[in-house]
Amino acid sequence: MKIVKLSIAIVLLLSSIAFIEDDSKQFEISKNLEIFTNIYKELNTHYVDDVDPSRLMRVGIEAMLETLDPYTNYISEADIEGYRYMSEGKYDGIGARVRKMGDYVTVVEPYEGGPAIDAGLRAGDMIIAVEGKSAKDKKTAEVEEILKGFPGTEVNITIKRPGEDTERNVAVKRDEVAVKNVPYQGMLDDKTGYVVLTTFTNNAGKNISQAIKKLKEEYPGMQNLVFDLRNNGGGYLREAVSISNLFISKGETVVTTKGKVRDRDRGFKTSSPPEFPDLPVVVLTNKWTASASEIVSGVLQDLDRGVILGTRTYGKGLVQNTVDLEYNSKLKLTTAKYYIPSGRCIQSVSYKDGEPVDIPDNKRAVFKTRAGRKVLDGGGIIPDVMVDEVGEEPIVKFLVDNNLIFYYATKYHQEHEEIGSAKDFAFTDFAEFVAFVESKNIDFKTDTETKLDELLETAETDQLTDLVGAKVKEMKEKIAQEKADDLEQNKATIISLIEKEIVSRYYYQTGRTEKSLRNDAEIKLALEILNDQERYQNYFKR
């Protein structure tokens, strides 16, 4: 009896402690909200300069959310079209990707079938003015906000096309722009099909299913599949389950979500027999493969159903839900983490500048696939076949970051009316490209050169220039020669990037994909694996 009474007392004590803690938390929330409101009012009333209340509040909200993970965001009414594009793959606007380059926002890529192409806009067109107002020094987001709008309405844009002396006035009729989540499917050889998925928006599972079926109908000899998830940042969880279900058995647990509120934890299982249960598949990943993409690649790895090839994925194992707020705004907040069949969570534990910090393998927990292979949690999916990252060489990053390949492709497009088929196009003017880069007089400075410049400055301060100056000059001359050699050593990678950029000027997204397949070292390796079934099966052994 004493034990029963003691147990009851303990339960009551714990309940009262929980109540006190909860009550204390509510008091802290109320207290700090009151403080925040009073500060907001004081600033608005007494600050020496005029204050924009909306901007002030927006900064406060974003600063608060920055203390959490990178995916908990406030979406204002002005951001709704961008959110709609990210979640649904569609938005109302002119149908073009734009980016700030120099003083002006520039058309980077018109979307196939979109209003921008119908109006005659091209990649490389600088947006000088919108509706008669100068766009100089405007941010990308500012210009994008004006370009978006209701279908059927017009927006008048003044553009400057490189190579032309006069400006052009272009009227673009806005429309609902739907960007395909499966922009391309085709055959890599007589037996191997290829499908690319860019985002897990609505109907991603249905579209992947249709793409594979179409390939099998048109090419009865198709026996293998390369499934490209590179640069796919994810999307709807339900579409990840749907795509996994194409390859794995009915009733398999694909992913489990676990959060603070245990009653809301959920498990997601496949609901139908697989459409392609025996189709050998290699999944391509890279460091921008994230979220739902990591679920699919992780599920196929955990269940020993597909070979993962590429580089380690991003490491986003968080679930977001969107809450509607007042005035047509939203809060996208993280509510849970997801766990794939082996029991592991792929979420990175820390971030720097919005990107996940790499976690050493010896600090990651070990799990096992269905066949007993070791896999690790935290920090993304480690592929079964690791490859080197393409384009990470300093000279290649320099060319890309300074838009030199983009500018050259624009120039090439102006000088060549046609290039033949996308697949067969070959760029042979590398010497001309090198001359073009040199003509821009943009200094490519290595980290070593920066350190040497700092050394010279320190030597000058310490009056030691005569002692170290000659040695530093000699070293910089050697580095300059090595930089010139870097262009030649990375010629194949650079030419591949140039070819894709040039082809996209004529054949847009479809052409870029078709051309990339011819030069892609990872696809060539995937073909080697799939065409050697003994080698393919060996990846599933312990």
Catalytic residue set: 291, 302, 316
Q: Which residues contact 277 (CB under 8 A, 6 or more apart)?
A: 247, 248, 249
Work out the burial of residue 495: count CB atoms within 10 Å of its CB; fewer than 13 is exposed, 13-18 middle, 19 or more buried.
middle
Q: Which residues contact 436 (CB under 8 A, 6 or more apart)?
A: 404, 407, 408, 411
Two structure tokens written together for 49 = 């300069």
**Checking DSSP bridges between strand 374-376 and strand 366-368, what pairing results, if any?**
antiparallel
Measured distance CA(57)–CA(195) in Å, rounded: 45
Strand residue runs (E) in 126-265: 126-130, 133-134, 154-160, 168-173, 175-178, 184-187, 192-196, 224-228, 253-259
Measured distance CA(483)–CA(477) in Å, rounded: 10
Half-sphere exposure in the Cβ direction for 297 (13 Å, CA):
41
Measured distance CA(16)–CA(398) in Å, rounded: 62
Contact 375, 399 (CB under 8 A): no
Distances (CA, A) of 111 to 293, 422, 507, 510: 23, 17, 10, 10
Strand residue runs (E) in 19-103: 73-75, 90-93, 96-101
| Amino acid identity, position 182 | V
Measured distance CA(196)–CA(282) in Å, rounded: 12
**160 backbone φψ class: left, alpha, beta (φ>0; ψ -120 to 50):** beta
Coil, strand, or helix at residue 175?
strand
CB atoms within 10 A of CB 91: 21
Q: Which residues contact 45 (CB under 8 A, 6 or more apart)?
A: none
Distance of CA 226 to the CA centre of its chain: 20
Of the candidates 214, 164, 203, 155, the residue with the CA atom closest to the CA atom of residue 181: 203
Two structure tokens written together for 64 = 């608060």
Measured distance CA(182)–CA(191) in Å, rounded: 20
Q: Helices H, strands E: what count in the chain?
A: 16, 23
Residue 253 β-bridge partners = 269
Measured distance CA(246)–CA(252) in Å, rounded: 12
Q: Which residues contact 426 (CB under 8 A, 6 or more apart)?
A: 499
Q: Which residues contact 223 (CB under 8 A, 6 or more apart)?
A: 191, 192, 279, 280
